[in-house]
With several copies, the nearest count.
Chain A
Amino acid sequence: MSISKKQVDEVVIRFAGDSGDGMQLTGGRFTETTAVVGNDLSTLPDFPAEIRAPAGSLAGVSAFQIKFSSKDIHTPGDVPDVLVAMNPAALKVHQSDVPPGGTIICNSAAFNPRNLKLAGYDSNPLEDKTLDDYFTLYSIDMSRMVSEACKDLDLSPKLVDRSKNFYALGLLFWMYDRPLKSTEDWLAKKFAKKPEIIESNVRALNAGYNYGETTEIFTTRYTVDKANLPPGKYRNVVGNYALSMGLAAAAEKSKLELFLGSYPITPASDILHTLSAWKHLGIKTFQAEDEIAGITSALGAAFSGSLAITTTSGPGIALKGEAMGLAVITELPLVIINVQRGGPSTGLPTKTEQSDLMQAMYGRNGEAPIPILASSTPGDCFYVAYEACRIAVKYMTPVMLLTDGYLANGSEPWIVPDIKKLPPIDVKFADKSNIVDGQFMPYLRKKDTLARPWAKPGTENLEHRIGGIEKEDVTGNVNYDPENHHFMVKTRALKVQNIANELPPTDVYGDKSGDLLILSWGGTQGACRSATEALVNDGKKVSHIHLRWINPLPNDLGELLIKFKHVLVPEINLGQLIKIIRAEYLIDAIGLNKVKGKPISSAEIQENVKKILEK
């Protein structure tokens, strides 16, 4: 029998199984290997909200999707070419996403009556032929194969069965022609103290690979060429980790001590975990009693001269509003990070959403403007984190950074940056030279940035008091004068607006005028870029602008927008950026709003654009 090798440009694989089946780990290993092989890639984990819902239940299904390609790609893919379903519930939840002609691989051992019932199947879909007309179905008794492969090992059957995800991984490695070595090395390191576990997993991995190689059911293998990525040294990086590195890089470059005040919350907790492990960089992390203590402890650290950070997700931001106002009026540098998730309230805590933009703009009493920027990809989290820190200390202001669950847990290949080449962050604390007529003036601003001086407690002769009551210009004393208040309210707004003066010209992907402009922010960047590429290929006059800064907006944005007949703003919310754009530029922008706890697909965007252009 001959197995043909077929070359394809891009592939989307989704691993799905019970929370206990190790799907995130399987996906992670596939990703690492794919990265090293040199494809471009993008990933999207999808966790259940329960820690561990009952085994086999629909609520307990966990999934991980990866798209990899020989081309430059921007999203983890809309629809999977291959779905690996480790149990009936996983099949039930994900089957509808697989397009006709797609491949489904199942662990038949898990399709027992109990699991079928839990998933709501009346009959076994692997046997009742319901799937065969639409999909290429591979029903494999992975559990038995693994137990065969491991039978001489001194391990309980339960433990052996846990290796079945590596069997699936091995099979996929074979199908897409990927080496096993890096996974074997990783297993050896990870379970250094448990050699039997290494052995069972390695055997399962190889058993899966060999099953593809030797059985006759698979007729095709696929190869995906290396992507033509810009030259450089690469690694794969997950958003929250990239963000943590960006913060640490800013601390190192600014020579400030990093202080994180935080309270755990999904999907932001990993930043706290990551920074907690970097004590050797001198980073201090403080798990506070709640979000309010998270931000206020950070504000205290900012007052005393640290690079202060607080991390959370939407509900935590709701709690931090009052303290943000205090940061605004005391003009202290503070980076506030919101890894957005599905709302309102507890909402869909493990799903992604972009619905906290307006909260970022307005979620506090009074006129309390805060600069806002958002990251566009997992790797970009590094750069926006760095940028947020740079702006915070340069302008003496709190800064809000928005990412989301999709960016936080997703990953992509990433050129390893050289921190020497990052823009400098020069911090000059106030000193004697800031004393005017024998008095330190804590609100005597720099002419260009309007930043006030940052005076570290412990510095001789700079004793001063700040607080939440309106401050007098220059002296910073408590002041109830109407004119001073009006002046200070406007000055604080102007200070934020001034940041626009240092933003680079806005990058337009595609022509600078045309029929339609897609305007995006945050994690929808990839889908918008893919859609634009496809539409342009299709001959449409479509361009794309992605905003890193939302407050302030770039100075040149207005001019750019009016060059297009239509402006489409896709968002995973009911229309938030679009409100800002319409109010600012009086342009009849159109929203594309899907609030489904997952990224908007490139296909949806394309479809929408076509409809608009047809009108």
Chain B
Amino acid sequence: MSESSQVKYTRKDFTSDQAVRWCPGCGDYSILTQTQKVFPDLGRKKEEFVFISGIGCSSRFPYYMHTYGFHSIHGRAPAIASGVKISRPDLSVWLVTGDGDGLSIGGNHTIHLLRRNIDLNVMLFNNRIYGLTKGQYSPTSEVGKVTKSTPMGSLDEPFNPLTLALGAGATFIARTIDKESKHMQEMITESYHHKGTSFLEIYQNCNIFNDGAFSNFTDRDTKSDTVLWLKDGEPMVFGAESDKGIRLDGNIPTVVELGDKWSKDDLLVHNKKDYMIASMLSNMTSKPDTPEPIGVLYAIDAPTYEDNIASQISSAIENKPKSSIQDIINSGDTWVVK
């Protein structure tokens, strides 16, 4: 990794010359903007960024970033990005995917990426619908959803992406929302700084096929009661007047009103290194009785696959320095015919 201490970039440096082709009003725009705003400040040379995506509306993203980019095939971005990062640990590799791309057809690559802990930054645009193919239900669509392919409502329980990621062995899971510019910028920055796979779920509104999927968490009048902003080391407070909080009742997270009965000291304190807290938080997702956890749920240090492989290789080279394939070709029982 080389620091670009000299160069000072602006948002424009990360904007490609391609016309952006999402529907007017699509949540993808904001994600692009926040990314282009944050990247200049990461302190890294522009040419070291690579964006890999699959197929879907969201996967158009690389075309709009003036970095190296690869818009690939449906679901395979995690594997392609793994190849990029393993072969070139010096690059900063970003993966843009959708709830269909990353969790339906690409689910296996996603979970294997997470367990390997390759240092990639995953941005999963979750709009709970297939946008590009014009509105079928996705593995994150809520039960009963009426779509083109489920005219009587969908039947299967959706994945909870963060719970799934945690189950797969993720070392970093976080969530943000398309409309929350500043928070998203923070999350992108934290993803960047996490060494290992960072898995960032972004609630993204598809105003054409699934409008308002997250309006509960974005509408002025509801959001302070429906969103729990996570801050590491701080008690879990929420509400317009910061008058509510999360308390553990046995092992069940429960909403309490702060005041006579409960004070901040009774609340659960967020600890992003605590697996059980992360498990509990991720499990609160879109449940009727608890607010939606937004922020970094879990982040721990762990060795990365590409570092491990690099160090195996250097120790192998140290043991047999200056090897050439010629040595191997020459080895074994040989004889000479004259």
How far apart are the CA atoms of A468 and B66 in the complex, in Å?
Answer: 18
B interface, size bucket: 35 or more
Contact A300/B81 with A280-B323, A289-B109, A322-B73 known, Cβ cut-off 8 Å: yes
Q: Is A306 an interface residue (CB 8 A)?
A: yes
B71 in complex: contacting residue of A300, A458, A469, CB < 8 Å: A469
Kindly identify which residue among A249, A251, A279, A460 contacts B312, using a CB–CB cutoff of 8 Å: A279
Is B12 part of the contact surface with A, judged by Cβ < 8 Å?
Answer: no
Asked if B295 is an interface residue, CB under 8 A from chain A, the answer is no
A 452-477 contacts with B by CB, 8 A: 457-469, 477
List, in ascending order, chain B residues with CB within 8 A of A418's CB. Answer: 326
A289 and B108 form a contact (CB under 8 A) = yes
Interfacial residues of chain A within 209-265, with CB under 8 A of chain B in the complex: 226, 229-236, 245, 248-249, 251-252, 257, 259, 261, 263-265
B104 in contact (CB, < 8 A): yes
**Which of B66, B71, B87, B136 gathers most chain A CB within 10 Å?**
B87
Across-interface contacts of A290 in B (CB, < 8 A)? 75, 104-105, 108
Q: Is A512 an interface residue (CB 8 A)?
A: no
Q: Is A303 on the interface with B (CB-CB < 8 A)?
A: yes
Tell whether, in the assembled complex, residue B91 and residue A297 are in contact, meaning their CB atoms are under 8 Å apart: no
Is B158 among interface residues, defined by CB-CB distance under 8 A? no
Q: Are A236 and B151 in contact (CB under 8 A)?
A: no
> In the bound complex, do residue B18 and residue A477 qualify as a contact, i.e. CB atoms below 8 Å apart?
yes
Of A280, A288, A457, the contact of B319 (CB 8 Å cutoff): A280
CA distance A209 to B132 in the complex (A): 36
Q: Using an 8 Å CB-CB cutoff, how does the interface string of B1-45 with A read, 1 for contact, 0 for none?
A: 000000000000000101111111000000000000000000001
Judged by a CB distance under 8 angstroms, whether A292 is at the interface is yes
Q: Would you call B149 and A264 a contact (CB within 8 A)?
A: yes
Which of A57, A235, A245, A282 lies in contact with B21, CB distance below 8 A? Answer: A57
Which B residues, 72 to 105, have Cβ-Cβ distances below 8 Å to chain A?
Answer: 72-76, 78-88, 90-91, 104-105
Interface SS of A by simple majority: mixed
Q: Would you call B83 and A301 a contact (CB within 8 A)? A: yes
Q: How far is the CA of A231 from the CA of B20 in the complex (A)?
A: 52
A285 within 8 A of B: yes
Within B130-183, which residues are at the interface with A (CB < 8 Å)?
130-134, 136-137, 139, 148-152
When C-beta atoms are compared, the residue in chain B nearest to A275 turns out to be B149
The 8 Å CB contact of B150, one of A229, A232, A276, A284, is A276
Binds A, one of B212-220, B243-251, B267-275, B330-338: B330-338
- With known contacts A236-B333, A245-B328, A468-B71, A265–B47 Cβ distance under 8 A: no
B70, B130, B330 pick with most chain A CB within 10 angstroms: B70
CB neighbours (8 Å) of B131 from chain A are: 51
Chain A residues with CB below 8 A from B333, complex form:
32, 35-36, 182, 235-236
The yes or no answer to B276 lying at the interface (CB within 8 A) is: no
Q: Point out the residues of chain A lying under 8 angstroms from B334, CB to CB.
A: 233-235, 416
Interface stretch of the complex, out of B55-63, B190-198, B223-231, B279-287: B55-63
Q: Is A50 an interface residue (CB 8 A)?
A: yes
Q: Is B278 an interface residue (CB 8 A)?
A: no
CA A252 – CA B322 in complex, angstroms?
A: 12
Q: Does chain B have a CB within 8 A of A55?
A: yes
19 A-B pairs in the complex with CB atoms less than 8 angstroms apart: A51-B134, A51-B208, A60-B21, A231-B338, A259-B86, A273-B149, A278-B328, A280-B316, A281-B325, A284-B313, A289-B79, A290-B75, A301-B86, A301-B87, A419-B325, A464-B68, A464-B69, A465-B51, A468-B71
13 extra interface residue pairs, beta carbon distance < 8 Å, beyond A288-B112, A292-B109, A304-B87: A32-B333, A50-B21, A229-B337, A232-B336, A248-B325, A269-B133, A273-B149, A288-B79, A289-B105, A300-B83, A457-B50, A459-B47, A464-B69
